[in-house]
Amino acid sequence: MEIVIVPDPAAAGELIAAAITDLLTDKPEALLGVATGSTPLPIYQSLAARVADGRLDASRARICQLDEYVGLPAGHPESYRSVVLREVVEPLGLTEDSFLGPDGNAEDIAAAAIAYDRALAEAGGVDLQILGIGTDGHIGFNEPCSSLSSRTRIKTLTRQTRVDNARFFDSIDQVPHHVITQGIGTILEARHLVLLATGEAKAEAVALAVEGPLAAVVPASALQLHQHATVVVDEAAASKLKLAGYFRDTYAAKPAWQGL
């Protein structure tokens, strides 16, 4: 696992967008897995700016969702499908044809989750998956004690996650209790995992995930099992890392040709 400490969220966005630009240059039809929430927005803004000024041709890219609320009406502005279309697909000049996501309104949610796992495999697998991290250490919506080999399925959000996400709704009562999320086993199948964490509120979860033991109680610690996992943190989110000095030295001495 590589840990990269950057000054601020804007620098993180530039760094990860540059890595995605390299990926799409090598593989224009790459499947890019995207997280929602506030943290990855600087990445999406940098990608959109690169498309606008011609540094990035994303016209053949494919985009897939990490997770989705269950039961929000189709077209609800806070459904993750709507968010990804608004924040990623449209700004990159893509259409829904390039987009894959689970159906949070399916009559048979269990079947919809299995179908999404199959669709990802049939699409050739995710090339680069962007992840955020919850204050409780979740990735996707794999809450603490999710199986480390779990597949895409329905999960129940913790009260803390519903409190954290209430800012996107008029009140916490409107935050759904249930989600479909890629499982940890599913996430680990992506070829490159890039987790971004910014802000002091994420510092403890980051330290546990990176320097703590592999444990289902900290789902993000599953990145320790992956052969190509990159954790990008700003100074605030890095503030509880005991090995921060080592991580800084390692990145400073990294040959430029290696990329992320």
Q: What is the largest CA-CA distance in the chain?
A: 53
Shortest Å distance, C-beta 167 to ligand F6R: 8
Q: Which of 87, 103, 117, 143 is catalytic?
A: 143
Length of the chain: 260
Query: Using the rule CB under 6 A, which residue among 94, 139, 207, 232 binds ligand F6R?
Result: 139
Question: Is position 136 annotated as part of the catalytic site?
Answer: yes
Question: Is position 138 annotated as part of the catalytic site?
Answer: yes
**Residue closer to ligand F6R (CB basis): 51 or 66:** 66
Question: Judged by CB under 6 A, does residue 138 bind ligand F6R?
Answer: yes
- The residue with tokens 């090339």 is 127
**Residue closer to ligand F6R (CB basis): 37 or 248:** 37
**Residue closer to ligand F6R (CB basis): 22 or 239:** 239
Question: Is position 192 annotated as part of the catalytic site?
Answer: no
Task: Copy the structure tokens of residue 168.
Answer: 């996107």
Neighbours of 14 (CB within 10 A): 17
Task: Copy the structure tokens of residue 176.
Answer: 């759904």
Count the helices and strands in the chain (H runs, E runs). 8, 10
Are the CB atoms for 29 and 64 separated by under 8 Å? no
Q: Which of 87, 127, 138, 164 is catalytic?
A: 138
Interatomic CA distance for residues 146 and 137, integer angstroms? 11
User: For ligand F6R, which stretch binds (CB under 6 A), given 18-26, 133-141, 169-177, 204-212?
Assistant: 133-141
Question: Judged by CB under 6 A, does residue 186 bind ligand F6R?
Answer: no
Question: Judged by CB under 6 A, does residue 125 bind ligand F6R?
Answer: no
Task: Copy the structure tokens of residue 140.
Answer: 């996707």
**Residue closer to ligand F6R (CB basis): 27 or 147:** 147
**Residue closer to ligand F6R (CB basis): 94 or 205:** 205
Q: Residue of minimal CB distance from ligand F6R?
A: 132
Kindly state the number of chain residues that form the binding site for ligand F6R, as judged by CB under 6 A: 14
Query: Using the rule CB under 6 A, which residue among 140, 176, 183, 219 binds ligand F6R?
Result: 140
Shortest Å distance, C-beta 114 to ligand F6R: 19
Task: Copy the structure tokens of residue 259.
Answer: 């990329």
Interatomic CA distance for residues 210 and 153, integer angstroms? 25
Query: Using the rule CB under 6 A, which residue among 13, 132, 183, 219 binds ligand F6R?
Result: 132
Instruction: Give, in order, the Cα–Cα distances in Å from 164 to each of 44, 127, 161, 168, 250.
Output: 21, 29, 5, 9, 33
Cβ contacts of residue 19 below 8 Å, gap of 6+?
A: 128, 194, 230, 259, 260
Helix (H, G, I), strand (E, B) or coil at 149: coil
Span 33-72, contacts to ligand F6R by CB under 6 A: 35-39, 66-67
Interatomic CA distance for residues 42 and 256, integer angstroms? 22
Q: Where along the sequence are the contacts to ligand F6R (CB under 6 A)?
A: 35-39, 66-67, 132-134, 138-141
Residues with a catalytic annotation lie at: 67, 136, 138, 143
